[in-house]
Amino acid sequence: MTKISDYQSNDPIAWCPGCGNFGILNALKQALLELEIKPEDILIVSGIGQAAKLPHYLRCNTFNGLHGRTLPFASGAKIANHKLVVIAVGGDGDGYAEGGNHFIHAMRRNINITYLVHNNQIYGLTKGQASPTTEEEMVTGTTPSGVFIPPEKPLALAIASDCSFVARGFVGEQDHLIYLIKEAIKNEGFSFLDILQPCVSFNKVNTYQWYKDRVYKLEQDLYDPYNKINAFNKALEWGEKIPIGIIFKSHRKPYEDLTGLKDSVVLSERILEKDKLEQLYKEFY
């Protein structure tokens, strides 16, 4: 039987004390435990950034790629071995700026991976410049007169892209976040979970208290995530009230079903036919 200690890494954690990433790491461990997924059956892919350090702090298969290139690596791994539970992690800069194009096309392909975005509305690793989700008028190292363009709206973009699972969580609501991570992993298709995660070092506006005064949970019995218009309106709701929960779901078939990949033999288990390989070498020599 899997225990929480099975996911424990010996790597020293380099996050700042109080960082919201700790809450995401703990929630992910608990979600994996409750789903009874063994460490050897998990692949966590990341790019560059504070959020991208998470795979080092969890015992599992790990691949670190380039900044903003998390999703292509995660997609390739899932196609090569569809038996793996593939989870991509990154920050709002990594995912919505450098990785914005990959984000759109991953949703379009609908490959069965889970994407956890640690959204602290700032670039944490590189000392606090404005990110795509930084609030207007916020003063940062790169915007001394304040941000003058509106923040990106990734949830609205995901719904417009007909993403099969769109949700938002908050690290200050641990039980709720565990539930959302579990639902994202169980969903068949591309699952996108934006996680509100305070940066205690560089974002002095969007603090734990700031979020606690604003977030509210969508009531599962009253809210229909399959209603696209209502979901779009919820995705745009920001300010005095911020909804968290499963905001949108689609009935789209995942990439694996459309391509027949789901029933194929994974690459590592295929029989290597040396005669055919030698023939290919001769043809292209």
pLDDT tens digits for range 150-175: 999 999 999 999 999 999 999 999 99
pTM for the whole thing? 0.92
The per-residue pLDDT for 262 is 80
Question: Which amino acid appears at position 211 of this protein?
Answer: Y
Q: How far apart are CA 31 and CA 177, in angstroms?
A: 9
How many residues are recorded in the chain?
Answer: 285
Dump strand ranges (E) for 120-190.
165-170
pLDDT of residue 172: 96
CA distance 39 to 41: 5
Whether the CB-CB separation of 87 and 112 falls below 8 Å is answered with no
Domains and CATH numbers, the chain: 14-284 (3.40.50.970)
- Average pLDDT (70-96) is 93
Q: What is the pLDDT of residues 236-265, one digit of tens each?
A: 999 999 999 999 999 999 999 999 888 888
Helices (H) and strands (E) in the chain, counts: 10, 8
Give the whole-number percent of the chain exceeding pLDDT 90: 68
